[in-house]
Amino acid sequence: MDFKILISTTDDFFLKRDYRPSCDYLVINQIINIEHGALCAPNCISLVEKGVSKSRNAALSFCESGLALISDDDVSYVKDVEHVIKKAFDENPEADIITFQFLDNDYRLYKKNYRQKTFWHDVYSLAKVSSVEIAFRVDSIKGANLRFDENFGLGSKLPSGEEYIFLVDALKRGLKILYMPIPILIHPGESSGGQFKSNPDLIMSKGAMLYRIFGYKSYLMALVFALRKYKRAHMSFVNFYRLMISGIKLYRKDGVTSER
């Protein structure tokens, strides 16, 4: 089964890197600064639009491989990443999606809470998954008519949560999602999903994300989330929770209250 890495980038960032994957890949290059223009490159589609979820959806539309890996423009991959992912799917034919691990620049596991054993995801374990850990059978995703919710993700009003929503939507539509404790790439820096300090939009997006998935239960879940995370934002619990509720209100006001 053929395999492709789906890379999202803006204003030619990936195209200017010296690094290229050793396997087949597709780049969705969003031109945010129109005056900047776009470099011509093989395996690249340039679009004049904004938003990482729009980029992911474009990649899904153009992807014709059997297997695919969601990726960003600043990562590198372990040796034989294609073989590693193909082998995982070959050994688990019932899995529609598999989530993996990734490493930091020192080749240590990026997340301290990675489990050491393979397991099947539920709606709660999926909350810990990053987009670059997600590989899938393309036919399963297209057959379930799955798309990223373009209300969420970097470049939108709600700049986080798109991968969690995508995976929960997959679970609700009957797809099976497996976790395997295998590193597949190296990712520098801190995940954008955890940078709460001085970023109220990110906090608001967490509230909206919870409402998108859990409906009215999200008010209580936002309370629990705020209790756990407010210190990381260097603000009071009350202000953190208010921002999450503001995110819920913003999402409801826009009239997008159901699964796509």
Q: What sign results for the dihedral spanned by CA atoms 248, 249, 253, 254?
A: negative
* Two tokens, residue 258: 């159901």
pTM of the model: 0.93
Residue 33: pLDDT band by 50, 70, 90 thresholds?
Answer: confident
| Domain range enclosing 18 | 3-193
Indicate whether 76 pLDDT > 60. yes
Q: Give the pLDDT score at 6.
A: 98
100 plus 220 within the same structural domain: no
182 plus 200 within the same structural domain: no
Q: Give the pLDDT score at 260.
A: 35
101 plus 227 within the same structural domain: no
Which of 193, 219, 241 is the C-terminal boundary of a domain? 193
How confident is the prediction for the chain on average, in pLDDT? 92
164 plus 248 within the same structural domain: no
Instruction: Report in angstroms the alpha-carbon separations of 65 from 42, 59, 114, 163, 189.
Output: 17, 11, 29, 21, 30
63 plus 144 within the same structural domain: yes
Which of 171, 193, 215 is the C-terminal boundary of a domain? 193
Q: What percent of the chain has pLDDT over 70?
A: 93
Instruction: Report in angstroms the alpha-carbon separations of 226 from 10, 162, 204, 231, 236.
Output: 32, 19, 11, 9, 10
What whole-number distance in Å separates Cα of residue 205 and Cα of residue 221? 14
Q: Exposed, middle or buried, 202 (CB in 10 Å: 0-12/13-18/19+)?
A: buried
What values do phi and psi take at 71, rounded to 5?
A: -150, 165
